[in-house]
Chains A and B, each alone.
Chain A
Amino acid sequence: MASVLRTDSLTKVYGKNTVVDHVSMNIEQGDIYGLIGRNGAGKTTLMKMIGGVAAPTSGAYEFFGEKDNTKTLSRIGCLIESPSLYPELTVWENMMFYNKLLGITDKKNIDEILDYVGISEAKKKKTKQLSLGMKQRLGIGIALIGYPDMLILDEPINGLDPTGIVDIRNLLLKLNKEKGVTLLISSHILGELARLATRFGVIDRGVLADEITYEELLEKTRKAVRIEGLDPRKVAVTLEEMKLNDYKVIDGGKVMVYCDTGLSGKINRALGEKGMYAESIGTVGQDLETYFVEKMGGGVQNA
């Protein structure tokens, strides 16, 4: 996959406070990269630097392998914090302003985008009359002007009601699947990000503490009963009899049984009835929340 965004030791210091500390990350085409961290972890500052609205203290970043970002920023759409709208202008006029800014003379794209983000009925409304959810949609719509290859969205679901959250999530998934738009999304709402992202970056006190793919995350957070010190073939027979078919053998004889971890006692008894006494039997796998909270040093909001 081609790299869309690569940062190299990106750092931002305000006075004596290092807000973003040598962050190096790589986002590939088609990724939905979820940047997760508690409030004040440095997510927004990192995004501001990437979006070209804040200058890095040190380090560098490049889009599409191009070092001169002024050439590539037009291929990026940004929504940093709240949607920036002109309240006196209507939805359509706000879009037209950015159309003109990008030198797009064809107005058809405005209706297309408004339709795509689902606010075409409100196009004649002044933006000060819009609900927060509609403003977020319009913000995404503005970011989509010029049909960018990548969207940078900072807390796009912040303040939305549950229906609004689902709508925005579906919209972002649609953008990724149908239009092939690469997404960088930050959030402190863990559950929501976990439903969207294909890769995760955990940021804690400005440092990129961990990077993990969705599959790796599933693996790490998958609950299992681990059995050690027995012949795996004999264990397998017992498990099959118990209709526990989802298991695998790892690290020279340990058996991982992917099931409700409450069954560990029952498995132990079943093995004991056959004269098999394990050296150790226990449960493994953190839940999603625990995993991220550990990486972030606490303070995440689950939803």
Chain B
Amino acid sequence: MHNVISAQMYKCFKTKGFYILLMIALLSTVFDLIKVTTTLQSNPELKIEGFTSTYDALSGGLFLLLVGIYAALVFSSDYTSLSIRQIIGKGTKRTAYILGSLLTVTVVSLIISSAAYVAAFLRGTFIGSGTGTFDGLMMIRFLVVIIVFGFMYVAFTALIANITRKTSLTMLISIFTPPILQLVAVSITSLAKIDVLYDPITMMDVATSVKTSTQDYLIAVIIYFCAGILLTYMSIIVGKKKDL
């Protein structure tokens, strides 16, 4: 699996797509910072403090979009270019290929989306009216959620890529599934008159809120992690069953 990770990392860093997405993430961060600075100047009474309190304003949607696009590009490119045949033909086990690629994409997606939490850190700690504080524990909580959520999301995209083997279709499904699920959850809650139904995005909001209890936070993390494992397993099963 080490060789798969090494090869996939090499490919990622040599591909234009990675740098384009990183650039988008960095640009959005710059715009974000400018927006906050302008808001603070026009509303001097507004206080934005610490790391976590700034997360709400950050674009979780952008994170999803970037991870989705990136994972779709990486996974489906091996299938659409038929490189997967060469990879497996070189003696790489399919499980090692899927797990290695999954880990690579998770790590690289985190690098891309790191712009978002760098922005949160900078904004909360240094720009936030000079009163910002660095909340280490909350930052770790935040990062863990991002990692397990990223893992689950990438595993989902890997499964879709394994099934469809088409880049554009994989991208569309992986990008639109979370908002659609959120829409469905909201519709059900309003129709069935229940308090809340957790879809992946709502659960993300809950897990990254400072008001959430440690127990609820841990439940969210465990659910994300288990879902990621299940999706990875399904991806391996589908990958093994399908001829290349």
* B residues less than 8 Å from A96 (CB atoms): 10
- A51, B83: Cβ atoms closer than 8 Å: no
- B85, A78: Cβ atoms closer than 8 Å: yes
Tell me whether chain B's interface is mostly helix, strand or loop, or mixed: helix
Considering the complex, give the chain B residue whose CB is closest to the CB of A74.
B91
**Given contacts A48-B243, A54-B243, A101-B4, A89 and B15 within 8 Å (CB-CB):** yes
Considering the complex, give the chain B residue whose CB is closest to the CB of A88.
B15
* A residues less than 8 Å from B82 (CB atoms): 80-82, 84
Expressed in whole angstroms, the minimum distance between the Cβ of B6 and any Cβ of chain A is 5
- B244, A54: Cβ atoms closer than 8 Å: yes
Query: How many residues on B have C-beta within 8 angstroms of the other chain's C-beta atoms?
Result: 27
Q: Is A163 an interface residue (CB 8 A)?
A: no
Report the separation of the CA atoms of residues A86 and B18 in the bound assembly, to the nearest whole angstrom: 14
* B residues less than 8 Å from A97 (CB atoms): 7, 10-11
- B89, A76: Cβ atoms closer than 8 Å: yes
- A84, B88: Cβ atoms closer than 8 Å: no
**8 Å CB contact of A51 from B3, B10, B11, B89:** B89
Q: Could you tell me which residues of chain A, from 93 to 152, have a CB within 8 Å of some CB in chain B? A: 93, 96-98, 100-103, 142-143, 145-146, 152
- A70, B91: Cβ atoms closer than 8 Å: yes
Expressed in whole angstroms, the minimum distance between the Cβ of B19 and any Cβ of chain A is 11
Total A-B contacts with CB atoms under 8 angstroms apart: 91
Q: Is A53 an interface residue (CB 8 A)?
A: yes
Expressed in whole angstroms, the minimum distance between the Cβ of B80 and any Cβ of chain A is 10
* A residues less than 8 Å from B81 (CB atoms): 84-87
* B residues less than 8 Å from A86 (CB atoms): 11, 15, 77, 81, 83
Expressed in whole angstroms, the minimum distance between the Cβ of A272 and any Cβ of chain B is 64
* B residues less than 8 Å from A85 (CB atoms): 81, 83
* A residues less than 8 Å from B92 (CB atoms): 101
Residues in A lying within 8 Å of B, measured CB to CB:
48, 51-55, 70-74, 76-78, 80-82, 84-89, 93, 96-98, 100-103, 142-143, 145-146, 152
A-B contact pairs, 26 of them (CB 8 A): A48-B85, A51-B85, A53-B88, A54-B244, A72-B91, A73-B90, A74-B91, A78-B86, A78-B89, A84-B81, A84-B82, A85-B81, A88-B15, A89-B11, A89-B15, A93-B10, A93-B14, A97-B10, A98-B90, A101-B4, A101-B90, A102-B90, A102-B91, A103-B6, A142-B86, A146-B90
